[in-house]
């Protein structure tokens, strides 16, 4: 056990985790998962429900797609089917999770169930599984990256829902009302995340 723990590169994992949350934030710098980011950020409660569901599905999807890629697709030399296989795996995974939740965890289903169908077409989930492969992560790194991506998504949604609640109450010029002002404020949130650029090098170097 001790040998196993020693073999894990915790510093590397921390770097992956924090760069996924803060520096390469999925929503604000990679533009993945923009639809739910703008769609369900109107109030804090739905934003948090959506984020929790996304984190769970991201972790599960990575845990399943990574072995599929390495032990099935690569072995058989059909790596080019990646996109096709991954999207179908994610779609059926979401369906399975929904069914299990409905049957065995009704309270949880009530809280998260309505967000699940939307996640299939959330590009952040497919994005993170593909990035795990293209960046040649080990399984542990891949899971850490997925956790970071999910937490980053939650952070962006959390911050942004607060801002949107303020916008609702403020007096916005008529032309910009609705979506345009939302996008402009998203742009400002993204600027604020630029402050984290040097963070990783300075803390973990």
Comparing CB distances to another protein, the nearer of 15 and 50 is: 50
Binding window for another protein (CB under 8 A); candidates: 10-18, 26-34, 59-67, 145-153: 26-34
Q: How far apart are CA 152 and CA 162, in angstroms?
A: 16
Q: Is 181 in the site for another protein (CB under 8 A)?
A: yes
Q: Which stretch binds another protein (CB under 8 A): 56-64, 100-108, 141-149, 176-184?
A: 176-184
Helix (H) or strand (E) holding 134: helix 123-134
Pair 141, 13: CB distance under 8 Å: yes
* Structure token digits, residue 180: 């345009």
Interacting span for another protein (CB under 8 A) from 3-11, 56-64, 149-157, 175-183? 175-183
> Can you tell me whether residue 161 is helix, strand or coil?
helix
How many Cβ atoms are within 10 Å of 161's Cβ, its own excluded? 21
Question: Within positions 85 to 124, which residues make up the interface with another protein, using CB under 8 A?
Answer: 87-88, 91, 114-115, 117-118, 120-123
Q: Does the protein bind another protein through residue 186 (CB under 8 A)? A: yes
List CB contacts of 197: < 8 A, sequence separation 6 or more.
23
By CB under 8 A, residue 174 contacts another protein = yes
Region binding another protein by CB under 8 A among candidate stretches 4-12, 60-68, 69-77, 79-87 = 79-87
| Distance separating alpha carbons of residues 24 and 83, to the nearest angstrom | 22
Question: In this complex, which beta carbon is closest to another protein, that of residue 30 or of residue 151?
Answer: 30
The Cα 112–Cα 130 span in angstroms is: 25
Is residue 12 involved in binding another protein (CB under 8 A)?
A: no
Question: Taking Cα atoms as reference points, which of 119, 98, 158 lies closest to residue 32?
Answer: 119
Residues interacting with another protein, by CB under 8 A? 28-36, 38-40, 42, 46, 80-84, 87-88, 91, 114-115, 117-118, 120-123, 126-127, 130-131, 134, 174-184, 186-188, 190-191, 194
């Amino acid at each position: 056990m001790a040998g196993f723990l020693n073999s894990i590169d915790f510093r590397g994992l921390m770097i992956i985790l924090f760069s996924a949350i803060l520096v390469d934030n999925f929503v604000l710098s990679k533009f993945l998962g923009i639809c739910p980011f703008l769609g369900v950020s109107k109030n804090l409660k739905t934003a948090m429900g959506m984020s929790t569901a996304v984190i769970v599905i991201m972790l599960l999807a990575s845990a399943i797609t990574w072995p599929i890629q390495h032990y099935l697709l690569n072995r058989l030399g059909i790596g080019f089917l990646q996109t096709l296989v991954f999207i179908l795996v994610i779609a059926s995974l979401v369906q399975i999770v929904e069914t299990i939740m409905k049957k065995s965890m009704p309270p949880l289903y009530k809280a998260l169930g309505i967000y699940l169908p939307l996640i299939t077409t959330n590009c952040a989930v497919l994005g993170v599984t593909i990035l795990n492969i293209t960046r040649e992560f080990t399984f542990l790194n891949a899971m850490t990256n997925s956790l970071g991506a999910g937490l980053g998504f939650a952070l962006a949604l959390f911050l942004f829902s607060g801002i949107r609640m303020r916008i609702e109450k403020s007096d916005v010029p008529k032309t910009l009302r609705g979506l345009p002002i939302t996008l402009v404020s998203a742009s400002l949130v993204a600027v604020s995340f630029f402050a984290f650029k040097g963070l990783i090098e300075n803390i973990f170097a």
